[in-house]
Amino acid sequence: MTTMKKILFLLSIAITAFAAQGQEFNTQLTTARTAYKAGKLDESRFAMEQLLQEIDMMVGKEVLKILPAKIEDKAANTAGDNVSGASGYFGVVIHREYGTPEKNISVEILSNSPLITSLNAMLSLPMIGGAGGDSKVVRISGYKALLNKVSGEGDKSDYEIQLPMNTALITLRAPGYTQDQVLKIANSLPVAQIAKMNQ
């Protein structure tokens, strides 16, 4: 069985699992098969890329369902939840905010992030680990992450956590919270489940 046939076979199995979730998925799979049978490999590849993007969108919607309904004293603004295609072939952006525009917490997950390799390299450098400054390595639910002080001084600082997992990057922004609060918030996220869903 050729690689292209294997891919089409696996995608046809996946369609069974996702059939109830979207007509676009069926359309792209049919287009990919038809183009492949006609020898139009470029068109078949494009249709499969679109199909994979659709799967990423479905996964993104499932990830939103497992995110907490509340963080600290801030309720999720589910009306503003967003799963959208990222530029190029970087997967999708999953976005949720908690609280009000004046004081909010945002969680953003980018699947197939191009930053994963460079961020993992930074996390492995010993000088970043405990050197102080504006960045340091922390552990979130057992995973290494980068804690960045974005702006401000002391307790008035704004922090951001970047957590690479497999091919996904979770970014947590919590302006107006202390470093300890931001770490507590990050540890309240279902990181292991998100990692498993984005494999």
Residues 51, 71 within the same domain: no
CB neighbours (10 Å) of residue 100?
Answer: 10
Tens-digit pLDDT profile for residues 15-56: 554 454 556 677 877 888 888 889 888 888 888 887 777 788
What is the model's pLDDT at position 10?
47
Tell me the C-alpha to C-alpha distance, in Å, between residue 112 and each of 27, 139, 167: 24, 22, 5
Contact assessment for residue 4 and residue 41, using Cβ atoms and an 8 Å cutoff = yes
Query: Band of the pLDDT at 164, cuts 50, 70, 90?
Result: very high
Check which CATH number belongs to the domain holding 177 and give it: 3.40.1000
> Domain count of the chain?
2
Classify 77 as helix, strand or coil: coil
Beta strands in 111-198 (DSSP E): 135-140, 143-151, 158-165, 168-174
What pLDDT band is residue 168 in, cutting at 50, 70 and 90?
Answer: confident
The answer to whether residues 166 and 87 belong to one domain is yes
pLDDT bracket for residue 158 (50, 70, 90)? confident
DSSP-derived letter for residue 86 is P
75 and 171 fall within a common domain: yes
| Shared-domain flag, residues 102 and 149 | yes
Q: What are phi and psi of 169, to 5 degrees?
A: -125, 120
More confident residue, 160 or 27: 160
If asked whether residues 178 and 158 sit together in one domain, one would say yes
Q: What percent of the chain has pLDDT over 90?
A: 27
Instruction: Please check whether residues 26 and 93 belong to one and the same domain.
Output: no
60 lies in some domain:
no
Is the Cβ–Cβ distance between 191 and 185 less than 8 Å? no
Residue length of the chain = 199
Name the more confident of 90 and 119.
Answer: 119
Tell me, yes or no, whether 62 lies in a domain: no
pLDDT tens track for 98-147? 998 778 899 999 887 777 778 878 788 766 555 456 888 999 998 999 99
User: pLDDT-derived band of residue 97, with 50, 70 and 90 as boundaries?
Assistant: very high
Q: Tokens 């008035």 — which residue?
A: 156
Asked if 104 contacts 97 with a C-beta cutoff of 8 angstroms, the reply is yes
Q: Any idea what the Cα angle at residue 169 is, between residues 15 and 175, rounded to 5°? A: 130
Q: Is residue 61 part of a domain?
A: no
Q: Tell me the residue range of the domain where 33 lies.
A: 3-55
> Is the same domain home to 16 and 81?
no
Same domain, 111 and 150: yes
